[in-house]
Amino acid sequence: MEAAPSAANTARDDRVRTRRFVWAAVVVAAVFGVHGLALANGFVNWDDLIYVVENPAVTDPGLQTLRDRITTPNLGYPVPLPVLLYGWLWQLGDGSPLPFHLLNLLVHAGAALVVFAVISRACLQFSSAALLAIAFAVHPLVVEPVAWVTGLKDLLMGLGFALAWTWRHRPAGQLAGGLLALASKPVAVAVGPAMAFCLWLDRRRGDPVSRASWAAAGGLTLVGVGLALWSITAEDESLRTTLDVGPSVVRIFGAAGLMAGHALVPVGLGPRYTPEMVPPGMVVLGIVALVTAIIHLWSWTKRSDVRAGLVVASLLAYLPVSNLRPLVRYTADSYAYTPWILVALIVGLTLASAPKWSPRVRLMLLGACIAWGVLSAVRVGEWKSSDTLWQAAYEATPEDPETIVRFGDALGRAGRPAEELALYANHLEELRRAPKVPVALLVYFERSGQLEPARDWYAHAFALPTAQDPAVYWYYAEFVAKHPALHGPKLDAALAHALPLHAEHRGPAGLNPAQLRVLAGQAQRLGLGELAGRYREWAG
């Protein structure tokens, strides 16, 4: 008599598992359907060269010590897991960008599946949970970290945060997710305190919380504190590749408003945003967004609602800078990836109380997914190459100095040198505020006989706190050899300061043996004997 109910239950469970699998497959199909064009994209001249193509830890990891693999000093802050994966992918694809883009897609699909699993377990129907997961996955806000090879660190951190929260009552799972986030990006130092706050809410609500779960959150907090101290104290100013705009309250609100604006109206998104260029309206929107988050945080905390923990996690996870110094550089959509996952969970848990959605709500969300998917597919195409990427960015912010430099470099790499020089000629004043001086501009001044401007721009390049393109030093060596009366002691002093920065952080990347030998002679002339020896060693 008991066999029939058991068989019926088994059949029902099988149907549930099948439906769950089918809807999960729909979520993954949506991810690849919208973002799959990224598989045809290449590397771009925005950090992909530094992180991957010219990074000896990726292209020749055997030369790296274990300490260097963990701390990744040539990048300025520790991102050991992404660099380790880059090395494997470089060997797997023999330098092809395809494996890198495929991994990004797989990690993003994994994050979307976590969103689907959490929401579907919260009593929503599978179809509704899948629709929300797709809305998270196809929104244009996520295109940057998904279509950008260097965005892997943000994808892994977001996935780690989501897993740590989902498995917070499973100590091993919480640790796995938290360590995944911490090994991907230093800003993940917030994961331990965020999980501890969530566990505190669970206990206040009456849910059992094991000592092992508390211990896991405490362990993640200790690891995070150590990582934060290391990242801040080990920061190398010479590795900054963007303008140092200085922190300010206005920029904090402006950055928050910019991200909120991109979430609400996802059009006109670009690869980089300068906080000082954010319109006043975005500052107001940022204030509204943060006040709204604080109000909900207070209300949900009083009710011991787990959504309060997700609000705290999303706020702590959003520091728009890689080295834990908020807003001394820029903000970008990739920084919003982790908060976006957590916001998707908040929305899903909020809607989970409704046993069934009305057809109108489903239709509106489906329409949003279609519109977002189309916009995202267009944005993925912008990331196809450096020139397509920075063409769109330049059209959006034509006065931004770094965008001008990046776009000009992309034009040069695409075999359009006349367009590159025309771009620089129209923006000389803005280029004075750029963190790096374009090599083509220096060469143009010299070869056109404008020696005084060439000398002035070389002096400006060497006075900047960032290591310049390796070719700048080599061209200057030629400049000095041809025009020895123009270099002067001040320029020599600046070069003596700049050359060691290049040697320490870029090494032989981008230079052939003959050029390295020229730099060895330059270093010897400046009295940098040890540095000259290193250049000769690299030259073979």
- Give me the pLDDT at residue 322, please: 43
Same domain, 284 and 368: yes
pLDDT mean across residues, the chain? 84
Convert the pLDDT of each residue in 159-212 to its tens digit. Answer: 999 999 999 999 999 999 999 999 998 888 889 999 999 999 999 988 899 999
- Enter the tokens of residue 515: 């050029």
Token code pair at residue 93: 């694809």
The closest of 258, 265, 266 to 284, measured between CA atoms, is: 258
321 and 195 share one domain: yes
Which residue matches tokens 């996520």? 142
210 and 94 in one domain?
Answer: yes
Pick 128 or 522 by higher pLDDT: 128
Q: Are residues 203 and 94 both part of a single domain? A: yes
CB contact set of 218 (below 8 Å; sequence gap of 6+)? 192, 196
Task: Tell whether 378 and 393 lie within a shared domain.
Answer: no
Listed residues 382, 414, 448: the one ending a domain: 382
Looking at the structure, do residues 120 and 213 belong to the same domain, yes or no? yes
Residues 181 and 314 in one domain: yes
Q: How many CB atoms are located within 10 Å of the residue 482 CB?
A: 10
CATH code: domain of residue 459: 1.25.40
Residue 1 — pLDDT band, cuts 50, 70, 90? very low
Compute the 3-state secondary structure of the chain and give helix, strand, coil in percent, each to the nearest 5.
75, 0, 25
Do 358 and 465 reside in the same domain of the chain? no
pLDDT of residue 173: 94
Same domain, 443 and 329: no
Count the helices and strands in the chain (H runs, E runs): 27, 0
pLDDT band per the 50, 70, 90 thresholds, residue 509: low
Q: What is the DSSP letter of 49?
A: I
Per-residue pLDDT for 515 more than 80?
A: no
Indicate if 263 and 373 belong to the same structural domain: yes
Q: What is the mean pLDDT of residues 237-246?
A: 53
What range defines the domain where residue 266 resides?
3-382
How many domains, in total, are found in the chain? Answer: 2
Domain identity same for 403 and 256? no
Is 338 found in the same domain as 419?
A: no
Q: What is the pLDDT of residues 310-340, one digit of tens each?
A: 999 988 887 655 455 555 556 778 888 999 9
**How does 247-267 read in b/e, with b if 16+ C-beta sit within 10 Å?**
eeeebbbbbbbbbbbbbeebe
Neighbours of 452 (CB within 10 A): 9
Mean pLDDT of 507-511: 66
Q: Which of 357, 382, 407 is the last residue in one of the domains?
A: 382
% of the chain with per-residue pLDDT over 90: 35
Domain boundary, last residue among 356, 382, 408: 382
Of 419, 397, 398, residue with least CA distance to 410: 419
